[in-house]
Structure 1
Amino acid sequence: MLAAVLFLPTALFGCNGKQIDNPTINASDATTSSSLFEQATQGFSTCDMGDLFVDEHTQTPSSPYLQAIENYRCDTSDTLVTYCVDERFQGLAVTRLAVPRTTFPVFALYFTAELEMARSTLMAKLGKDFRESSASQLGAAPELVEDPDDASASVLICTKAD
């Protein structure tokens, strides 16, 4: 897991208005997006991400949620695609979502909440604090870490075992 966390700063960056040619989202689009986000991330607490990835060969998003937010892609690296989003996961504000674009199995939700606040919220909502564990090392559970680029933020990351 540590290797994936150390890799993230080189692969991801803050959005800070860096979306490219993004149209304004109207209220119905935002509602649809949020509903799709909830569906797409419902397995995050067990790192069961289903179709939340970008197809390695066609480089197109596989899930309805990623298709709906394709205009909000804010970074693409050799292994990950990052979307700048404005969503909520279990009550926490999510500003970025990173998904794999190869077989490199990393998924990350970037929260605006600092580590202990996020940990407390997730414990209250899901009954788990998402500390490093054997399950997180095996890719069966996410790990909550301090955002390597922002000490006042946190990242919930799944690194699936190959």
Structure 2
Amino acid sequence: MINTNSQSTLRRLKLTFSVLALVTISACSNTTLEEQFRGIEACQIKNIYLDPVTKKASGAYFTERKLEPCRVDEAAFYCVNDTFYGLAVNQIAIPYKGPFSVHAIYLKDSPATVEATLKAKFTNIKLNQKDGMSPVLIANPKQQGSSVFYCDEYSE
């Protein structure tokens, strides 16, 4: 009887520790680009910017990683080595000052590859509508074979 009770107690302890470990791991995991840029497929990104006063980026993705911009002009550019829906990302741009409201993800893949991936993930996505409400996907003019996926509410 003691042996059965001991085994039952051990099983409960193992289960409890397993659950605690999973909770701890998920609590420590960083915000992904997909989570931070949720809504980009419809240009519905809010409150992600580099504050011109504090020089700190809003958004958990940036604060958790303590990211600093690699370049700042009208927008703040962050050099990263990450993925967005499985596509390699090397840079992100967020608004900084002035009337600029661009949120951009610089991808290493071609526009055709990026478009296929985005359309598989977001079946109703409308790209390049020039209406300020739809995201834009272009070839990166500074890096042949790569792409820029962005939203800019003032761009038409």
Q: What's the counterpart of residue 117 of structure 1?
A: 113
Distance 2:123 2:95 in 1: 27
CA distance in 2, matches of 1:46, 1:65: 20
Q: Deviations over 1:131-161 (max 9, x none)?
A: 321xxx3321211100011121001011113
In 2, the alpha carbon distance for the partners of 1:130 and 1:114 equals 18
- Distance, in Å, in 2 between the alignment partners of 1:74 and 1:113 is 21
1:157 aligns with 2:153: no
Unaligned residue ranges in structure 1 (runs of 5+):
1-27
The CA distance in 2 between the partners of 1:121 and 1:44, in whole Å, is 14
Aligned CA-pair RMSD: 2.2
User: Could you tell me which amino acid in structure 2 is paired with residue 32 of structure 1?
Assistant: S
Q: What is aligned with 1:22?
A: none
Structure 1 letter corresponding to 2:150: I
Which of residues 43, 53, 59 is equivalent to 2:55? 59
Q: How many residues in Structure 1 have an aligned counterpart in Structure 2?
A: 128
1:97 is aligned to 92
Judged with a 3 Å threshold, the aligned counterparts in structure 2 of structure 1 residues 36 and 49 are, in CA distance, closer, same or farther, namely same
1:32 to 29, 32, 45: 29
Q: Write the deviation string for residues 102-135 of structure 1: whole angstroms up to 9, x where unpaired.
A: 14111110111011111111111212565321xx
User: 1:49 aligns to what?
Assistant: 45
TM-score of the aligned structures, taking structure 2 as reference length: 0.72
- Structure possessing the higher radius of gyration over alpha carbons: 2
The 3 A distance-change label for structure 1 pair 141 and 131 is closer
8 A contact 1:122–1:128 mirrored in 2:
no
Q: Give yes or no for the alignment of 1:145 onto 2:138.
A: yes
Q: Distance in 1 between matches of 2:58 and 2:107?
A: 23
- The two structures have a TM-score, normalised by structure 1, of 0.69
Q: 1:12 maps to what in 2?
A: none
C-alpha distance in 2, partners of 1:152/1:130? 22
1:36 to partner: Cα distance = 4.1
Instruction: State whether residues 131 and 144 of structure 1, in contact with CA within 8 Å, keep that contact through their aligned partners in structure 2.
Output: yes
User: Secondary structure of the equivalent of 2:62?
Assistant: helix
Structure (1 or 2) with the greater strand fraction: 1
Q: Given that residues 130 and 144 in structure 1 are in contact (C-alpha distance below 8 angstroms), is that contact kept between their aligned partners in structure 2?
A: no
SS of corresponding position for 1:148: coil
1:37 to partner: Cα distance: 2.6
Question: Which amino acid is the alignment partner of residue 80 of structure 1?
Answer: A
Q: RCO higher in 1 or 2 (8 Å CA, sep ≥ 6)?
A: 1
